[in-house]
Structure formats: C-alpha cells, structure tokens
Amino acid sequence: MLIRQAVPGDYPAILALQAQNTPDNLSAQQRHQGFIVSQMNEKQLASINSSLGILIATEDDRLAGFVCLMPTDAQPRPPVVDAMLHTLATQRFQNQALDQRRVFLYGPVCLSAEWRGKGVLRQLFAAVKARTQQDFDVGALFVNEDNPHSLAAHVDGLGMTTLTTFHSNNQNYHLVVFATNG
C-alpha cells in the first residue's frame, strides 16, 4: 500500500469513490458500513490539495481510500463545518481549551469497500499524524450520528476522542478530536 499526496490526475478516482459512498448511492445495508456526506468537485479538491492536502492510499495504481486535511480558516466551507468550529471553540481536550490549540480539519475520509477492515484507515491516519504533527496539535472531525460505523472506526479503531455532539441542518453530529503527537 502506497500512501502519498494526491495529484490532479487522482481527482477523477477520488470523486468516483466519493460518489459511490454517498447515502443516496448506497443501500440501507451498505450505509451500515459507513458513508460520506461530502459532495466535492475537482475545483474543491484542488483547493484542499493546494493547502494541507489530500492523502491517498493506492495499490497497483488503484485508489483504496483518501483523506482530506484543511486548516480551520479554509474557505468556502459548508455550514456543518462552521457549526463544528463554533462548538469546538467551547471545548477542552487534554486539559487545554481548543481555541488555544493549533487545530486542523480532518476529513472527509473514504475507503473503497474492498479495502475496509484491511488496515488502510490506520495507514492513512499514521500518514496524517506524520504530516501534521509539526504544525498542529489537534485534528478535528465530525461524524454524522447516523454513521456509527465511521464513529467506531475512528474512536474505537484509531483511539480518537468524542468530545460532544452538535446540530447543523437538521442533523446531529459527533465532534471528534485527536492529538497529532499521540
């Protein structure tokens, strides 16, 4: 498995994987394996990738998964991210106020169905931490409450911490964080 930063030639595969894993394109049973709520386009991918970046996992030139990384001041951003950041500013993690920490946004993250449960998420996460630990203290993400598989993968599987829940656009979300040096 090769973990590297995405290049523009990877964007079509990233968008295809994203589309395959949105709730509208999954059966009820498939949604239990996790889903992605973002609907990014190539322009948005290019913007994300020109900042903190998009890390991808490939094997034999096939995309196994991706994760997006963004600074908290990234624009434009969806209302759910604004709601998450508003909630984040009032929280503490490891006995420190998060509004006093160097925080970045983790996600969306998506794995191809054939690669789930094979350690790809753990490899992507290790690469995320290696990439961010010099400039950031904490990674923050949100997980839709209707996506318990993703929450379990990040909290139980990777050791992230659920801080609280928040509400945006008639949906409830878990606010999850992790230390970049832990």
Say what the pLDDT of residue 182 is: 74
Report the alpha-carbon distance of residue 142 to residue 36 in Å, rounded: 11
Say what the pLDDT of residue 32 is: 57
Number of independent structural domains in the chain: 1
Please name the amino acid found at residue 137. D
Say what the pLDDT of residue 24 is: 64
Say what the pLDDT of residue 91 is: 97
Report the alpha-carbon distance of residue 89 to residue 95 in Å, rounded: 14
Alpha helices in 33-145 (DSSP H): 42-49, 79-88, 120-132
CB atoms within 10 A of CB 31: 16
> Residue 89's domain is classified under what CATH number?
3.40.630.30
Query: What phi, psi does 131 have (nearest 5°)?
Result: -75, -30
Say what the pLDDT of residue 40 is: 80
Domain of 134, in residue numbers:
2-179
Say what the pLDDT of residue 9 is: 97
CA-based nearest residue to 40, from 104, 108, 116: 108
67 contacts 55 by C-beta, under 8 angstroms: yes
The per-residue pLDDT string of the chain (182 residues; one tens digit each, 9 = 90 and over) reads 999 999 999 999 999 988 876 656 556 666 556 656 667 889 999 999 999 999 999 999 899 999 999 999 998 888 999 999 999 999 999 999 999 999 999 999 999 988 888 999 999 999 999 999 999 999 999 999 988 888 999 999 999 999 999 999 999 999 999 999 97
The pTM of the full predicted model, rounded to 2 decimals, is 0.91
